[in-house]
Structure formats: C-alpha cells, structure tokens
Structure 1
Amino acid sequence: MNRIIRGINFIYVLLLLLVLVFVNLQFKDAGVVLSEEVKRNAMLSVDIMDHQVNEWIVENEKVLFTASDYIKANLTDSELILEMLEDKLDKHDLFSSMYYGTMDNKLISTSSFIPPSNFDLRETPWYEEAAKAEHIVITDPFLNAIKNSWIVTIAVPVYDDFGHLKGVVAGDIMLERLKSVLDDSEKFGQSVTYLLSAKGEKMFGIDSFEQSQDTLGLMKNWYDTREDRVKSYGMLEEQVGKVKGYFHYHEFTDLGWILMSFSPINNYSDSLTRLQFFSLMLSAAIIGTFVILIFILRTVITKPLFEFEQQVENIDLERETNQQIVLSSNQALGKLSSKINIMLQKFFEQVNALNDDRDELMALNEELEATYSQLVATEQEVTRQKQNFEALFRNAQDAIVMFDQDHQVLEINESFEKLFGYNINEIVGMDLDVILSDGVYRREAETLTKKVFGGEMVRFESVRYGKNKTPHHVSIQGVPMTHQGVMIGGYGVYADISERKRREANLAYISTHDDLTTLYNRAYFEKKITELKKAEHLPLGIIMMDVNGLKLINDAFGHRAGDHLLNEIAMQVKDICNHGEIIARMGGDEFSVLVTNSTHEMLEHLTDEILTRCNQIKVDEVSISVSLGHAQLVTLNDSIADVFKTAEDYLNKRKLTEGPSVRGKAIYTIVNTLHEKNKREEQHSMRVSELSYELGKALKLSDREVNELKTIGLLHDVGKIAIDEKILNKEGRLTAEEYSEMQKHPEIGYRILSAVNEMSEIAEHVLAHHESFDGKGYPKGLKGEEIPYLARIITVVDAFDAMTSDRTYRKAMTYEEAYVELRRVSGIQFDPNIVETFIEYLENIRKKLN
C-alpha cells in the first residue's frame, strides 16, 4: 500500500511538472506569435504609409484629369479656364498653384507669377515631359524658390477632338502636405520615416523619437547594403543606438522616390509583458491547487487505505471460508469493504463453477486456435491478392489512375505516363478532370465523374489531352471504390483507341469519297438526294457529265494520264461549284452535281461554265470534251429516278452530236503527236500508206478497199504513242523486254481506233498487221485466211519499207535483197500471192522509171 501511495504522489508531482512545462511551452509559442505580430504591425505601418502616398497621387491625378476635360471643352475661353483652375485650387488644398500653358506660349495661372518676356513655358520640364509622354506625368521633386520646401509638378496634355495637342495643364504640390498625410498613418507608436527623391535627397522626414545618431545616414546605409537589391520592397531587423526595431523600404517605381521607415520593437511589446505576468500567476495557482489536492488525498484516501490493507492481510481463505472485512460504514472505503465481502461469499461458488467450465474453456481455446489459423490464412490470401492487384496495376497495358474522394490523383501506372506524358510528381493531388480535359470536354468529363461518385461504373469513348495538349482518342472506364458503403475514390482506366478511330474515320471517308478525285462517290450522292428531298431544298437540280474519249486517252497515254485528266476535271468542277453544291464521281468517266434551291438559269449557267472550262483541258496536246445534261426535281411527288433519266437523256443527246467528232479529231491529234515525237515513224507511215494504196490497186481491190488501205497504212502504228520514247528511238537492237513492250502497239492501236465507231473495221486490221501466215505472229496468233486480207497487205508493205530503210543498227537493203527476204519467208510470215504481186508491181514501176 505504501508503494501505491508513493506511486500516487509521484504521479501527482509528475502531472504538476507536465502542466508547468505545458504552460511554459504555451508561453513560448505565444511569444513567437506575438513576435510575428510585431513584425506584421511594423510592416502594416509602412503599408499604410505606402497606401496613403498612392492615394495622394491618385487624388491629384483625378483633379488634373477633370481640369484637362474642362479645358478641352472650352479651349478658346481663357477666362472660363482661369475660373475653373481657381475653383479647383480652392476645393483641393493639396495644390499650391495651378496653371495651363498653350501651344502658343500663353500661360493661364492661379498665382501672381508673371513670366519674363524671354520665358518659353514649352521648354519647362513639366510641359516637355507631358507633351512627349502623351499622358499624365509627375516631374522630379525640386526645392521652391526659398529652398525650404520640396515641390512636385503633375501635368496632363490637352488635346482637341481631332487628337491635336493644344497645351498642358499642371499643378504644383508642396510635399510638406504629403508629410501631414503620413503623420496620420503613424498608428503604432514612435517611429522614423523619410521620403527621398530619385537622387537620394531628403524631401521630408517624420521623427517621433530622439536619438543622438544620424538616423537618416544609417537608414541609407542599410538600404544601400541590403542583400536583395532586385526587390523594390523589403524589411530588415536593425538597431539605432540601443534601440532595436524594423527597417522598411519601399521604392515608388514610376516616381523614383524611396520611402524609408524605422519602427522600434518596444512599440509592440506590451502584449508580451502581460503574457509573462499571466504565465507566472497561472503557474503559482497550479502549484497551490496541487498542494491542496495532496492534503485532501492524505485525509480522505491514504489513511482509510492503510486500515483496509491491514484487514485484507488478515484474511486467510484456506483456513476459514466466512471471513469478513469490518470497516466503519461512514468511512470512504466502507462501500468497498461491503462489496469485497460479497465477493468473498461468491468466491468459492465461482471456484466450483470455474472447475466445471474448465473443459468448456479448453474446447473454446481449441476453436479459437482454429479460428486464428483461418484468420492467418485469410490475411495471407488478402496479401497475395493485394500483391497481384499491384502487379496488375503497375504492368497493365491500359493507362490506370487511382483517385480519392475529391477526384484528386493518388497514383498512376507506367502506361498512364507513356500515354499522357505525365509523371506522378507532376499531377499528384490535382483534379483528374482538370489534367486530362479542356474547355470542350470538361463538362462531359465532370458528368462522368459524378456518375462514378454516384456508385455507377462508367464506360465511354472520348478525347483526352496529354501533357503537351496532345489529343488522344481513348476508351474510358470509371470504377468507383467504396469501403463499408462509403465512397473513398475510384479508378480511371484509359485505353488508347486513336489508331482504331483513325481507321474508322478513314473507312468512313472511303465509304463516301472517290479515292482518285476525292469527290463524293455514287452511294453518298444518292443518299444525299434522298436526304435533301424536302420542301425547303426544292427544286433540286441534278447535272450529269460524261468525259468523251477517256478510254482513248487511257489507251493512248496510259491510265496515269487518264487519272490525271479525271483529277483535272474534278478540280475545275469544284472550282466552279463552290457554293454548297454536292459533287460526285458516279463511275469511270461520269460525274454528277446536286444543287439545292436551283433554277433553270442557274443550272444552265453552271453547265456552260463546266463545259467551257473542261473543253480547254488537253492531254499531250489532245483536246478532250465533256457532255452534260441537267434536270430538276420540282415537287416532293417527283421521282428521283425520273429526274436522273431526264438528265441522262439530255446528256446522251448532246453526246451523240459531240462525242464522235471529238474522238475522231483526238485520234488524228494522237497520230500527229506520235509523228512529232518521232519523224522516222511519220515518214514510215506515209510510205506504207502510199505503197499499200498502190498495191491495193495492183491487186484489183475496190475503191473503198483501196482508200481504206491508205488509211490503215497511215494509222497502223498509232499504238506506238503509248510506247516509251526511249524504246522507239533506241539506237541498236531491242532487248527481249523492250521487244515484248514494242509488241503491245497493235493492241493499243486497236483500242484507240475502236473508240470511234466509223474506225472499228480499221481497228481490226491494225490489230492483225503483225500476224504471221503460219500462225506464229502476234497478238492473237491468227493463221492463213483467218488474218483479214487488208491486214495481210499491210504486213507485207510494212516489212518491205522497214527492210529498205536505214535503221540505227543496220543499213537499208536494196530492192533485190528485200525481194529475196520477202520470198524466203513467203508462206511463213507473208501471204505468197500478195508477195509476188507486190514484187511484180515494184519491178514494173522501176522499169517505167528507167
């Protein structure tokens, strides 16, 4: 029991010490707070003075601005201007004088000052600075005439309604009046304040405590030696003599003035003194309280406890089972002794009960051990799942961000960093919607966030922005995270679908556009007609266009030239139809234009413009042409198919009259183009044409056949227009590949000539003019009589002219050598009857010439 009492006393003493230490610490914290308050009060004093100076400047500027506006309205009335200046001077005691100087050196002043005859007010600093700056200016301070007061001049230029300078209005202000303003700002006891000009001259000072030292010199030295010379505002803890305090400085950047102030610390220390006294009194009260408590404890608790301890020691439970503790009922421990006696009575009852419960407790213990093992296993499983989750979070290919209940970022995985470019240190604690969305998608993102915090799992596709505001098409999953029914945050999962979106956009574009011309395609055009078949768009105009001779251009110059032609036509049509019309390529050489709210005149104008532009297009000097037709869908009851048919019929009528002649001209243009590229081919074609004509007469053919032979001879090599010029003009024999390319010219010539109906028969002969009599020629391998007769004639003449003409790889044969060669392959390459008739004809001609 003695140990308990000593322990209680020890606890009381320890508690007393803790309370005293706490009070002392609180005093120190309060001292720190008060010290900070001292600094703030000192800074507040200078802030008030700074505010007063700025207010003083603003008030003066307002006076000058109103004066400027008045003068602008009364430029020619000097008396009114003087009355206004005197009125301003009466109402605003800040100014010592006010005056207005005009462009012609006239001075209107409220003072009695009369300028000398040679005085030019336009050269005064206040006039020159205001006129040059074109706005209000404040001049550098200067001493007045008797050198006992600083003056500053505020000046404003005056302009007329056309912006021409008419003069300058100004006012002189004695800075002593600013001192009276700053005197009112001394709110916190004694201090020293100086206002210096831009040159460092003292304009005035406020000194409310006396010191033998040069306070101004000290303050200038502190200002010149401050560490941070960049700042125009600051505070230093310094000392004047034995007085500690705070030195403040403030630079008025626009004016060049410097405001300096020194405030002693003891101006603000009354609160600290009161706090010290209060702390001492509180400590004394606490000590007295603890002494009284210890005395009460000894009387009420300690003495009864000793008596109680003595009786408890006398109890022997093994010897007697009915022992009792006897204490006076009015003592503090009387009730406790009664309770203990009841406990003693029940003790043996509980012992027996404990023996009975021992087996049950053992069983319960075994059950608890099993439960504990299960809890350990469960904890291990939870730990494993947590590790698995963290591994999934870190290594997931999708970008994942975890956020708290305020939607602020807690953690991100590596995929998030790669997708959006942020690392965790850059965005932790920031709102996820602010990071990833801009003004366009912000509201959408915030709506999704509300759904997630409402317990809803969100799936969405949208655009989110990376670190450099790079847009990313992403699929978004928002997963809420709750604990015991309380929302504690969630996860955002972002999968980059930019490539898929690009493919979808490309597919959407491809599905509606022609890949060659980038115009709309037939499916889109027909869909738009159906969509636009509404009253507000009627009448709907449809223009249909065919390119005449596209196949001819493809055959003659290749599909690349044909594609270039289609693109050129598409560009011209887009340039003409640039007012919302829908233009589509409907097929190989077919185009259509859809015009809403059309008129017949409008369709005629567009048709004529397209026709004019497109007919000027040429492919290798070959002019092309287009045929157009148009129709209108006037009412909602009109059939779209009927409108198309009407436009197509109109087009076909024009095509019948325009197409053939154009294609015929094109073929001859192609022949001329070939001959211009290769003069040898021109001469060869002319000779073959003449010889074929003569041989036809020798074979006694009809006039129609003879004339046709002449044309075939001229056109038989037209297919060479599509053969590379390097092959046509090559010096030396052709390689196998080059010869194979050259063998294509009969087929090309056939396709070119087939484009004109009246040349279809000629095309058949041109196709066969390199077939051999034995069936080993090209391109079809025709044999004997299968070869058209006129083609067999052309074959012989073509070969003879080739043999008797100079080539880059050999000299021309003589006629006799050519006869031998013709007869050698007669029946193999050539028709024998034609060969003999041709040789006989040539010999007869030679005899006549000799």
Structure 2
Amino acid sequence: MKITKKIPRLPIMSLVLLFLVVMTVLFAFISDLISDKQIENLTLKRDVAVSKIQRELVETESLLISMALSIENGMAIGDLEEILNDIDEKNDNITQMFYGLEDDSYIITDDNYGEAVIVTQRPWYIDAKNQGGMVYTDAYLDEVTGGPVMTLAIPVYGDNQQLKGVLGADVSVVTVTDFIRDFIEIEKGYAFLLDSQGQVIGHPLIDHNSSTLMNYDDFDIPFSSLNKNQGITSYLKTGNQYGKISYMYFENSSFVFGIFMTRAELNQSLITFLIVSISILVLMVSVFTVIIIIYKSHVEKPMNRLIEDINRIDISKNSDFRLETSNKVGFTPARIALNNLIDMSVNYQDQLEESLEELSLENQKFESLLSSSSDIVFVIDTFKRYINVFGSVKDVLGISKEEIIGKTHEEAFGYKYAMERNDEYDRVLNGESVIYSWESHFMGKTYYFENILNPIFNQDKIVIGAVGVARDITEQENRYQELLYISTHDYLTDLYNRKVYYERLKELNDSEQFPFAVINLDFNGLKLINDAFGHEYGDLALKKTAEILKNLIGENDSVYRVSGDEFSVIMVNAYKQDVIQFRSHLFDELKKTKIKNLSLSVAMGYFIQKDRLTPLDEVRKNAENDMYRQKILDRKSVKNKAISAILKTLTDKYDYEKRHSERVMKISAKIGKALKLDDDSIKALSTAALFHDIGKISLPDNILNKADKLTPEEYEVIKTHTSNGYEILNTADEYSELAIHASSHHERYDGKGYPHGLKGEQIPYYSRIICIADAYEAMTSDRPYRRRLSKEKARQEIIDNAGSQFDPKIAKVFIDLLDKEEA
C-alpha cells in the first residue's frame, strides 16, 4: 500500500472550520456555566440566610420540644413556671413564654401581660391542637413591646394521647429584620421576609418605628410569583429594576425569604467573559494562520517529495534501491535513516526466511501446551502490546484473543484498566517479577484473578518483553468475602454486629472525631410478641425496627444489632438536639409500624462523647443506664397496651372469640355478684374473664377453625393456650396477678383438668367461676364443629358435672341464678 503523496487542503480547512464551531459551542457552554454559577451563588446566598434565620427558630423549637416532653413526663406546674421564667430571661429573642391548659388556665412569664384571655380560643392554641405538632403564627405587633413578633407553639399530651395543653413562646423578629437590611448591597438588589399573609417582616426600607406591619405591595414585591416551596423566578420587574428572585419557604410555617438581584449584577461576569473570549479567539486565529503558511512552504512540499520516494521502496523486487540524500530535497536525516533501515531490512529478510520454518514448528508446540491450561497466559512486548494470549479469555473477559493480540492493554481494555496496571507493567519491563490481583465483570458475574508477571531477557540481558500468568481465584475470593460478611454482620437484620460496633467506637475515639453520640435501644415486648404470635413475628419486628433505623440515620452514621433485642446507633458530629430530633422521628415511625395491631416500641438512651476524658467502657455504660431508666419508665404502659393489642388481634380475626370473651365476662360478673363479691373483686374477675382465652392468639388457624373433631395431637396443641395466656399476661404489671386465671380456667374440680391437674380449692377461686361461665357460654353458642345446645341442656350439664368438673358450691349458685332469670 502506498503512502499518500500530498496532504489535501480540504481536511485542513475542515479542521479550521471545526475549530471555530468548537470554540463557538464552548463559548455557549461556558456562558451557560457562568449563568448557572450566578444562579448557584444566588441560591447559596438564599440558603445561608435561611439557615441563619432558622437557627434561632430551631433553638426555640428545641426548647419547646424539651419542655413539652418534661410536662408529659409529669413535671410539676410550679417547677414549670420557674423554668419558663429562666428560659425567658436567658434568651433575648424570646419576649415571653406561656403554657395554656384545656381548662383555660395558663402560665405566662410576662408580668405586664394584659387582662385574662380565653386560652383555648387563641389562634396559636387552636393551630397547635389541630395540627398536632409544632406551629408558627404569622407576624404581628406585640401588645407589650410594640415590636414585631411571631408565636411558636406545640401541643402537650398526657396518657392515652389526651391533650393536656399547649406550650408556646413569642419570638422577636427584630434581629431578623436587622440581618435582612444589611444582607445585600442595595445597588445590587435587596432581601426580604414575608409571612403567609404577605406582611413584610424584613426589608432594607422597612420602618421599625411604624405602628403597623406593611404589605408586600408597599415595596413592590411580586408575592404571587413565589408559589413553590423554593425556587428562582424568571426575569421580572420590581422597584423599577429587572432581575430574578431566589426564594424559600420555611419549614413548619408559611414564611418565605427571598433575595432579589438585578439583571446587571447577574450578567456582569458574562460580559467580562465575552470580551476576554473574543480577544483570545482573534489571537488564536492569527497564530493559526501563520502556522499554516509556514507549514505549507517548509513542511508540506518536502514531505510530499519524501512520500513519493518512500512509495518506490520494495525490497522484495528491488533490494538495491536507495533514497536521494541531497540537501535540496529536504528531510535529509530522515532519508539517511530510511536508507540504513533498508540495509538492515535486506539482511534481516535473509535471516528471517531461514528461521521461519523452525520457528513455526516451535510455535505450534508452544501454543498447544498453553491452550490446554486452565490459566490465562499472555506475552507483551516493551510497548505493552499483547504478542500472544492463551487460555479461556472469551469466557471470563468477554473478548477473544484475536481482539487482543497486537493491541496495547489500553487499546484492548480501556484507559481505566491501563492506568490501574501501568505501574505493574513498568516494573516488569524494568526487570522485576510482579504479583498483583484484579477482577473482571462479565455476564453478571465477577471473576477474581492473581497475576504473576516475569520479564523476558535477550542474550544481552536486556528486557524485550514479559510473560504473564492470570490464575482464576474467584472461588477462594468469594469464600473469603462471605466469611468476612458473616463475621461483621447480624444474620437476621443485615446490620453490623457487636464486634464492628466496638471497632467503630474505638476508631472515632482514637481519631478524636468529637462529638459523637452513642445511642442504645432496647426493643420493648419481644418476648411478648414471640409468645403471642410466634418467633417469626418477633423476627419480623426486629427486621422492621432495623429498616427504620437504617432509613433514619445520616450518611456517616451507623446502626448495629448488639444482642437479641438491643440495637446501637453511632451518630458522628452529633449534638443533643440531633439526638432528640432522631428520637422524635424514630418514635413516630415506630408508632406507625404495627405487628398484628401492636405498634413497635423501643426504650432509648444515649451519651454524647465530647472528648477523651470519658473511657469508652463508661461511655457505653452511660448510654445503657440512660436506656434502662427509660425502659423502667415506659415498661408498664408499653406492655399494658401490648396486651390490649393482642386481644384486639384475636377478636378482630375471630368474631366468635370476641363474643365468647365478652359473654364469659358478663356471666362471670353475674356469678360474682351472686356470691356477694365486692366491687373491686368483681372488676378483677371480669378482667380475668375477658382475657381468659388470650393465649389462643398463638394457635394455628387450621385448628381453631376446624369443623371436624380434633385429633389427639391437635387437642394437645389447643391445650397450650392456657400456658401461653399465662406467659402473655404475666409480662404486664397490670395483668400479672390475673395471669394465673388464664392458665387455670380449664382445671377440673376432680383434678383431671389441665395444664397442672389442680384439684378442689387448689384451683384459684376466680378460675373456678370462669370455668363454669366458659363452659356454659361454649355450650349455648354455635362453634365450627357443632351446633349450640339449648339452655335447658346446658343447665343440666352444669348440674351433672358439679363436683367433678365444676366447684359444686359455685355451680349451685349459678343454677339458682339461671332459675331466677328464667322465672
């Protein structure tokens, strides 16, 4: 194939045109970048301002949340009034604090406050009550100070989520308006803050001595254009100037902060860039023109002559041809070098023909041996080109050896791979032996390899290439990764385990990444869920808790399962308000997540490590102690609610169980009254009767719903509901004394009952009453396996089994009660 004699002019002109097009596109692109950067700077200014304004409000929010929690936990009114006064005195931005109760009584820190008001009719009270969380009011002029303020309020709840009152604080916005006035130079634009009614709270031209709040129309602010949570408007006119507004609405309120920047300010950088770009472009075009002129006269013409001479070289037909080397033809050194190369080529051609046949035979033997190997073997030259490749390359790399041979590793596998391997290839071509590992991703599978590279030397001990062997270690690597994962993760929740937890704590403490928070969480009622619904639901509860924790933590935070029902969270760069906010979000999510009508619940404690003065063992102990204090406070409420939820799950699932429990409770109460029990005893008896079959929640549906007679094995399963009911009720303090009746209401007076075979008065008194009520209700109700008996037959069954199944004295009282009702 001949070399082109002449470089065409058309490609050069095309290159020039392409250059101009690229420069034009580049200019447009950079112009857009500059415009975007200006918009980004405008947005950044807005975000900085909003962050500064909200910081004061968040501090007040945190105070209110903390005080609300204290009130909910039983703080005395006298202590509350003292603390509110103390907070008011220490915070200059708070003009007054108050706490209004549902009965219209209230506490307020301002001694100058006017006449008594109906607290429950105040806007802040109504908004907080309706929304059920933190609320902000619009700005208004304070009756005492005369300055602009707004009110933050949060509802306070008691037991059973009953509203107790609303806690609030009036916050002065004077510091906000001062900050907005000086935020941006007036010739470049202005900043403003509006409430939901469009009243101007902050503006460079606002008059603090005014007796009224001014409206957005007074300052020509386009309030109607700010119709999203945040954003940047298109160009608009305000105050006789064109520009854009970057705005953002505050969380928990309808306040909006905005920055207006003039068009001239936004476009200033773009104009400067345009002037500089045009100057550079003119200079580059001039230089390029000079280069082309020099190129054509001193390079193109001699090059074309050289190409013509090179195209005449063909040593296979004329081995005596040599290039002219006079100075007038140009490129004389190159011509002399080419002549030397022709001499060498002629000599080598003779030698090559002699050894070609021998080399071909050796190559066949070599290729046959290497192709049968399970490893990948390859040879490279000093330019890092692949000379040959053997082995199953296609199966693991997705590329055939024909596509690799003759190419460098960059050409064959790409720039990234080449950069990762350059050091190893350079070392082996410098005479070293190299071992390294790498991985390949093909057809959805990852392969791991260990490469061994050795240099190839010629007879003068000069490196002329290298040979490499790539050994597949995928199976060993996968086993290692699996073992590593198992050793660091919890099998059920996929969270990190206790070992990683300790390592992370030590890492943060040793590197002094303070402050960091250590949070301990203990799952409430895991045994209760396991007893009531089975371990699969207990595992499900732990998994859901783990998912919630993973979704709530920050990018640099981590969560661990440190024991059966205990979790730990490590929050880096964390302060008290961060932990409080995390706790609030966590409890909200847990409350919304239910297992069989039972909301998830955890006890939480924490400790913030601020320096290395506190040993890590003490840090963990402090967090655990704080958690146990919380668990003790919440234990009774959580478990009592859990018992009610379990009963609701049972009765929602089986309507006849609901009717049965309620009827047994009513019959037991009637018997108790007939036995002249006092009111407290009848109440305890009724509760025990209501919960007597709660253990059935753990029985399989196919047995409870079976219409045919139960097999002996199935009957043994049914009998377990008594002990299950005992375990469930015994976990809650309120019902622990009644748990014995859930386990004993199937005991018989003659000792042939279950589960313990108690006899006579060994059986608890309430259990003997519930036994009769349960039997009578069951006989007079339809069941899946039989129709109901008549009241007369059921009455006779009670009489016939008095003294054997039933307490004879209680049975007689019950029969007399039935006779009276019949009469």
TM-score using structure 2 length: 0.51
| Alignment check: 8 A CA contact 1:621 1:669 kept | yes
Cα distance, 1:740 vs. partner?
5.3
Of 430, 436, 440 in structure 2, the residue corresponding to residue 460 of structure 1 is 436
| Counterpart in the other structure of 2:404 | 427
| Alignment check: 8 A CA contact 1:822 1:835 kept | no
Alignment partners' CA distance in 1, 2:667 and 2:11: 114
Of 409, 417, 421 in structure 1, the residue corresponding to residue 386 of structure 2 is 409
| Counterpart in the other structure of 1:602 | 578
> What SS does the aligned partner of 1:631 have?
strand
1:620 pairs with 2:596: yes
Note closer, same or farther for the CA distance 1:838–1:417 as it changes in structure 2 (3 Å cut).
same
| Alignment check: 8 A CA contact 2:597 2:648 kept | no
Alignment partners' CA distance in 2, 1:603 and 1:452: 55
Alignment partners' CA distance in 1, 2:787 and 2:697: 25
| Alignment check: 8 A CA contact 2:795 2:815 kept | no
> What SS does the aligned partner of 1:400 have?
strand
1:843 pairs with 2:815: yes
Matches within 5 A, 1:41-190: 47=8
| Counterpart in the other structure of 1:73 | none
| Counterpart in the other structure of 1:475 | 450
| Alignment check: 8 A CA contact 2:749 2:807 kept | no
Alignment partners' CA distance in 1, 2:795 and 2:366: 96
| Counterpart in the other structure of 1:691 | 667
User: Where in structure 1 are there 5+ consecutive unaligned residues?
Assistant: 1-32, 66-160, 162-184, 186-277, 280-383
| Alignment check: 8 A CA contact 1:461 1:474 kept | yes
Cα distance, 1:738 vs. partner?
5.5
Cα distance, 1:395 vs. partner?
2.6
Cα distance, 1:668 vs. partner?
1.8
Higher radius of gyration, 1 or 2: 1
| Counterpart in the other structure of 1:711 | 687
Note closer, same or farther for the CA distance 1:406–1:650 as it changes in structure 2 (3 Å cut).
closer
Cα distance, 1:623 vs. partner?
3.4
Q: What letter corresponds to residue 841 of structure 1 in structure 2?
A: V
1:393 pairs with 2:365: no
| Counterpart in the other structure of 2:654 | 678
Matches within 5 A, 1:231-242: none
Note closer, same or farther for the CA distance 1:700–1:443 as it changes in structure 2 (3 Å cut).
same
Q: Over residues 602-654 of structure 1, what are the superposed CA-to-partner deviations in whole Å (9 max), with x where a residue is unaligned?
A: 33333333334433433333334332222222221212222222232322223
1:542 pairs with 2:518: yes
Matches within 5 A, 1:283-682: 393-404=370-381, 407-432=384-409, 434-436=411-413, 438-464=414-440, 472-482=447-457, 487=463, 489-534=465-510, 536-578=512-554, 580-682=556-658
| Alignment check: 8 A CA contact 1:611 1:627 kept | no
| Alignment check: 8 A CA contact 2:496 2:560 kept | yes
| Alignment check: 8 A CA contact 1:408 1:432 kept | yes
User: Where in structure 2 are there 5+ consecutive unaligned residues?
Assistant: 25-270, 272-295, 297-319, 322-360
Cα distance, 1:476 vs. partner?
1.5
TM-score using structure 1 length: 0.49
Alignment partners' CA distance in 2, 1:774 and 1:496: 76
Cα distance, 1:445 vs. partner?
1.9
Note closer, same or farther for the CA distance 1:385–1:749 as it changes in structure 2 (3 Å cut).
farther
Alignment partners' CA distance in 1, 2:678 and 2:706: 39
Alignment partners' CA distance in 2, 1:449 and 1:715: 78
Cα distance, 1:707 vs. partner?
4.7
Matches within 5 A, 1:222-237: none
Cα distance, 1:715 vs. partner?
0.7
Cα distance, 1:840 vs. partner?
1.7
> What SS does the aligned partner of 1:757 have?
coil
Cα distance, 1:767 vs. partner?
2.8
| Counterpart in the other structure of 2:146 | none
| Counterpart in the other structure of 1:798 | 774
Alignment partners' CA distance in 2, 1:758 and 1:664: 7
Note closer, same or farther for the CA distance 1:400–1:775 as it changes in structure 2 (3 Å cut).
farther
| Alignment check: 8 A CA contact 1:624 1:662 kept | no
Alignment partners' CA distance in 2, 1:517 and 1:621: 22
Q: Over residues 373-416 of structure 1, what are the superposed CA-to-partner deviations in whole Å (9 max), with x where a residue is unaligned?
A: xxxxxxxxxxx999998665333222333445654434433433
| Alignment check: 8 A CA contact 1:519 1:584 kept | yes
> What SS does the aligned partner of 1:638 have?
coil
| Alignment check: 8 A CA contact 1:823 1:835 kept | no
Note closer, same or farther for the CA distance 1:560–1:471 as it changes in structure 2 (3 Å cut).
closer
Q: Over residues 474-530 of structure 1, what are the superposed CA-to-partner deviations in whole Å (9 max), with x where a residue is unaligned?
A: 121224455655656443222333344344334433433334444333222221111
Cα distance, 1:681 vs. partner?
1.2
> How many residues end up aligned between the 2 structures?
488
> What SS does the aligned partner of 2:783 have?
coil
Alignment partners' CA distance in 2, 1:620 and 1:554: 12
Note closer, same or farther for the CA distance 1:499–1:558 as it changes in structure 2 (3 Å cut).
same
Cα distance, 1:461 vs. partner?
1.6
Alignment partners' CA distance in 1, 2:376 and 2:705: 65
Cα distance, 1:717 vs. partner?
0.9
Cα distance, 1:749 vs. partner?
2.0
| Alignment check: 8 A CA contact 2:375 2:391 kept | no
> What SS does the aligned partner of 2:422 have?
helix
Note closer, same or farther for the CA distance 1:818–1:632 as it changes in structure 2 (3 Å cut).
same
> What SS does the aligned partner of 1:603 have?
helix
| Alignment check: 8 A CA contact 1:624 1:666 kept | no
| Alignment check: 8 A CA contact 2:688 2:738 kept | yes
| Alignment check: 8 A CA contact 1:747 1:779 kept | yes
| Counterpart in the other structure of 2:785 | 809
> What SS does the aligned partner of 1:592 have?
strand
Cα distance, 1:537 vs. partner?
2.0
Alignment partners' CA distance in 2, 1:411 and 1:786: 93
Alignment partners' CA distance in 1, 2:599 and 2:447: 50
Alignment partners' CA distance in 2, 1:577 and 1:729: 44
> What SS does the aligned partner of 1:809 have?
coil
Q: What letter corresponds to residue 603 of structure 1 in structure 2?
A: V
Note closer, same or farther for the CA distance 1:494–1:602 as it changes in structure 2 (3 Å cut).
same
Cα distance, 1:775 vs. partner?
7.0
> What SS does the aligned partner of 1:584 have?
strand
Taking only aligned residues, the RMSD between alpha carbons, in angstroms, comes to: 4.5
Q: Percent identity?
A: 34
| Alignment check: 8 A CA contact 1:400 1:416 kept | no
Cα distance, 1:756 vs. partner?
0.7
| Counterpart in the other structure of 1:764 | 740
> What SS does the aligned partner of 2:554 have?
coil
| Alignment check: 8 A CA contact 2:675 2:813 kept | no
Cα distance, 1:760 vs. partner?
2.6
| Alignment check: 8 A CA contact 2:730 2:739 kept | yes
